[in-house]
Structure 1
Amino acid sequence: MEFTTKRLRIFEVAPRHAAQLCASLLKDAEVAALVPWVNGKNAKDVGQETLRIELLCGAGSLNVWATQRLEDQVLIGAVMETPSLVGSNVEVILGRQYWHLGYSDEALAPVLEWIAS
């Protein structure tokens, strides 16, 4: 599944790439502090969480989309969806230098629309 907006390309990534992307984003302490399931964990525990991302993606229990800026092809974040019978849990992890520029909402909108359809 892939979506394109005015400034972004949002595309599903393979389990290994999902884990690598999230690990890269979570290296920034300010970003990690805003992610509840990572906040306060040491590097080893964060590594375990990224392994969990890979395994859940492989099992079909987690969907991860990379968020890429169209202007320079830079990966700036990830949209994560955990589907369930009662609904989906969706979160965005965005590189700190891209905060407050509207990228989160722009990346999230097509994913939420797809989930609702």
Structure 2
Amino acid sequence: MPVSTTLRSSDQQQQRQRQRPALPAFNTERFALVPLDPEKLHELARVLLCDEHLAARLPWMKDKGGDAAAKEAFLLKLQCASGTLDAWGIVERARAMFVGALLARWSLEGIDVEVLCASQFWDHGVADEASEPVLAWLEHRIDAEAMSA
């Protein structure tokens, strides 16, 4: 019986991947949110997770060894490649540089959205501004999927 459940879950995941629309890019007043492929997410996450201040605030990074940033960045890459995670890079347009990433993890319970922002950009409203268009798009996507089910 557990094998059957696992297979169904795997089949649903594969079907979701096939139906997965391309992630859109978004623009806000100060930021461009660009979809990240697994490799680019891996590269950006390795840099962000080396930020000790940021890592200290992430519950899934606490009490991990020195190579935790590399391991967690690789895990994010795998999740992105498997279709359980959507990722956008947050680019500050004025400097044309990445300042963070927005992650949306899909699960049976729903979607968990997380913003990883380099600590030097904290208290500048990055998370609020960057997440607004993505959250609206995710909500629309969930409604559309529910209607088609």
Per-residue displacement from partner, 1:34-91 (whole Å, max 9, x unpaired)? Answer: 1111122112233221111111111111111000011111100000000123310000
Equivalent pair of 1:33/1:40 in contact (CA under 8 Å) = no
Larger radius of gyration: 2
Give the superposed CA RMSD: 1.0
Normalised by the length of structure 2, the TM-score is 0.75
Structure 1 portions without partners, runs of 5+: none
Identical pairs, percent: 32
Q: Which of 67, 71, 78 matches 1:48?
A: 71
- The structure in which a higher percent of residues are helix is 2
Distance between the aligned counterparts of 2:111 and 2:137, measured in 1?
A: 12
| Match in the other structure for 1:4 | 27
Aligned length: 117
Structure 2 portions without partners, runs of 5+: 1-23, 141-149
Structure 1 runs of 4+ with >4 Å offset: none
| Bigger relative contact order, structure 1 or 2 (CA pairs below 8 A, ≥6 apart) | 1
| Match in the other structure for 2:94 | 71
Distance between the aligned counterparts of 2:57 and 2:83, measured in 1?
A: 25
Note if 1:22 corresponds to 2:37: no
